[in-house]
Amino acid sequence: MNSKTKLFLTITALITLSAQNCLAHFGMVIPDQNSITQEKKSTRFILAFAHPFENIGMELTKPKTFSVTTHGKTTDLTETLNTTTFMKHSSWTTSFSFKKPGVYQFAMTPTPYWEPAEDVSIIHYTKTIIGAYGEDEGWDTPLNLPTEIVPLLRPFGNYAGNSFTGQVLLKGKPAAGAEVEVEFYDEGNKLQAPSDYHITQVVKSDENGVFNFTCPRSGWWGFAALNEADYTIKDPDGQEKGVEIGAVLWIYLDQFPESGK
């Protein structure tokens, strides 16, 4: 292999790596289902860090916390997590059984992820909300996370084509002008985006931290509202660097069923 060929391959590899790193990062908390019935009273979770549309995974070290909040009480589930592999990278899994009707908010606080391509640490406070046995009170209750998306549309029992509305909170207050990245989890990697722009949709919150997005396809949709933290974290070389904090919420939209007639 001559020097020109080596240089070409090196540049190609760097361009490919750069393109992958520019894709949106999403913390992921994905259950088997987001509404619980008597026919299936438990669900399994995947906790991961990835580019969900492109099915490009990243390493997720054990989260600092994973919890469920329901009926005004928060229960720590961190010690129930088991290691697994998701998109060829380390991730975590657990199962949860629903004992009574209610709205259950599951939240992950990850260990900070150092992203050398962006020269920042990333912390995505990630939620998903599950309704059980017909109860639907409390789905819009904040969890008082450092940053979070509070749904203004009930986040379960929705059809593809519904418009999702949420409010971005930062330190408990509305985050005006927050950039919200929106991405579809292409489970099985079956879809192809018309362009790189289509992979991650982007919308901004208004002066009250409220944003709206219409989800055109059934499946899991992730919303990540990004802000810069007012503190720094040391990078692997011991240098103080900035921190991207993300408020991430995952919702599921169903197909409109056929009557079968």
Predicted pLDDT of residue 260: 61
The SS3 of residue 253 is: strand
DSSP string for 110-156: PPPEEETTTTEEEEEEEEEEEEETT--SSTT-----SEEEEESS-SS
SS3 198: helix
Report the pLDDT value the prediction gives residue 1, as an integer from 0 to 100.
Answer: 54
Look up the pTM and report it: 0.89
Pairing of strands 158-159, 243-254: parallel
Element at 51 (helix H, strand E): strand 42-51
Q: In the prediction, which pLDDT does 12 show? A: 37
Q: Distance between CA 252 and CA 100 in Å, rounded?
A: 22
User: What pLDDT was estimated at residue 24?
Assistant: 81
Give the integer Cα–Cα distance in Å for 66 and 189.
27
Kindly give the residue spans of alpha helices, DSSP state H, lying in 162-259.
196-199
Given a cut of 60, is residue 195 above it in pLDDT?
Answer: yes
> Alpha-carbon distance 149 to 90, whole Å?
26
> Given a cut of 90, is residue 257 above it in pLDDT?
no
pLDDT in tens, 22-37: 468 999 999 999 999 9
Given a contact cutoff of 8 angstroms between Cβ atoms, the answer to whether 193 and 53 are in contact is yes
Residues in CB range of 246: below 8 A, 6 or more apart: 25, 26, 27, 122, 123, 124, 125, 126, 147, 224, 225, 226, 227
Specify the pLDDT at position 41. 93
Q: What is the mean pLDDT of residues 104-131?
A: 96
